[in-house]
């Protein structure tokens, strides 16, 4: 139960980054006749480097199903002065600017969903990776590369069986969100232990409680988990 819940917390961290890309990453809010993606980023103190396998950057597998007739219609569409908030005109602008390539249609579809759900929407990790790759194909700059690498790290973290790599990626995520706080390292160590073996009570009681206390410090809504952990320890010690 604890493990499933914290996977939800990991998803929360992921969604915070996703809302940034959905909310700010798209080139929305400009009326320039040419779409330019310029997402500013703030530098972070150096962290231990994470090596992403080169094959994960590959964009040759991007696909999107669209008919020739639909593409021809978009190519012929005359754009109004104010087109950025219309999904079809936005799509047409991308096609006319970049041509009939999968990245264009993936970004356009993402923009359409965003217009339908201005408060944000949830996608699968693979969909997010494809969107980030598509953005990088259209706007190859440091910002879109960092966005893509963030999602690729999510994938590595999700699929790795290496505790050290898992901890390294997870720590980077929490540092980005909370800064260099002692609780970050405690939570990373605790979550890594949960994912790769788990705590043994009562022997690991101190470490188990420290993890939940740090978790509560970072995520105050987890108070009930801290209280449950204290009860777990009490029962384990009572059993001897």
Residue 61 CB: number of other CB atoms within 10 A?
Answer: 8
- Residues 194 and 224 reside in one and the same domain: yes
SS3 label, residue 167: helix
- Residues 78 and 111 reside in one and the same domain: yes
Per the structure, the count of domains in the chain is 2
pTM, to two decimals: 0.75
Segments forming the whole domain that contains residue 100: 25-35+50-159
- Residues 106 and 183 reside in one and the same domain: no
For residues 164 and 172, what is the distance between their CA atoms, to the nearest angstrom? 12
Per-residue model confidence as pLDDT tens digits over 98-146: 999 999 999 999 999 999 998 888 889 999 999 999 999 999 999 999 9
- The string of DSSP codes covering 14-57 is HHHHHHHIIIIIS-TT---SS----------------PPPGGGG
DSSP 202: T
pLDDT (tens place) for every residue of the chain, 240 residues total: 333 334 444 433 433 444 334 444 444 333 334 444 444 344 455 678 899 999 999 999 999 999 999 999 999 999 998 888 899 999 999 999 999 999 999 999 999 999 999 888 888 999 999 999 999 999 999 999 999 999 999 999 999 999 999 999 999 999 999 999 999 999 999 999 999 999 999 999 999 999 999 999 999 999 999 999 999 999 999 987
**3 domain residue, yes or no:** no
Per-residue model confidence as pLDDT tens digits over 143-160: 999 999 999 999 999 999
- Residues 117 and 210 reside in one and the same domain: no
- Residues 31 and 148 reside in one and the same domain: yes
């Amino acid at each position: 139960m604890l493990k499933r819940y914290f996977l939800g917390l990991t998803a929360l961290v992921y969604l915070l980054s996703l809302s940034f890309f959905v909310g700010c990453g798209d080139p929305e809010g400009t009326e320039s006749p040419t779409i330019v993606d310029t997402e500013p980023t703030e530098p972070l103190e150096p962290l231990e480097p994470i090596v992403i396998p080169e094959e994960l950057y590959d964009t040759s597998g991007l696909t999107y199903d669209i008919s020739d007739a639909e593409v021809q219609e978009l190519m012929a569409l005359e754009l109004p002065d104010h087109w950025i908030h219309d999904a079809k005109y936005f799509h047409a602008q991308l096609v006319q600017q970049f041509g009939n390539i999968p990245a264009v249609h993936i970004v356009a579809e993402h923009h359409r969903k965003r217009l339908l759900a201005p408060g944000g929407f949830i996608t699968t990790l693979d969909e997010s990776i494809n969107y980030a790759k598509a953005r990088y194909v259209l706007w190859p700059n440091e910002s879109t590369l960092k966005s893509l690498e963030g999602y690729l790290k999510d994938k590595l973290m999700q699929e790795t069986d290496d505790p050290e790599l898992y901890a390294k990626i997870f720590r980077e995520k929490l540092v980005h969100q909370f800064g260099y706080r002692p609780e970050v390292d405690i939570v990373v160590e605790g979550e890594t232990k949960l994912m790769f073996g788990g705590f043994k009570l009562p022997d690991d009681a101190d470490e188990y409680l420290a993890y939940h206390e740090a978790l509560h410090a970072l995520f105050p809504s987890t108070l009930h988990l801290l209280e449950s952990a204290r009860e777990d320890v009490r029962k384990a010690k009572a059993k001897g």
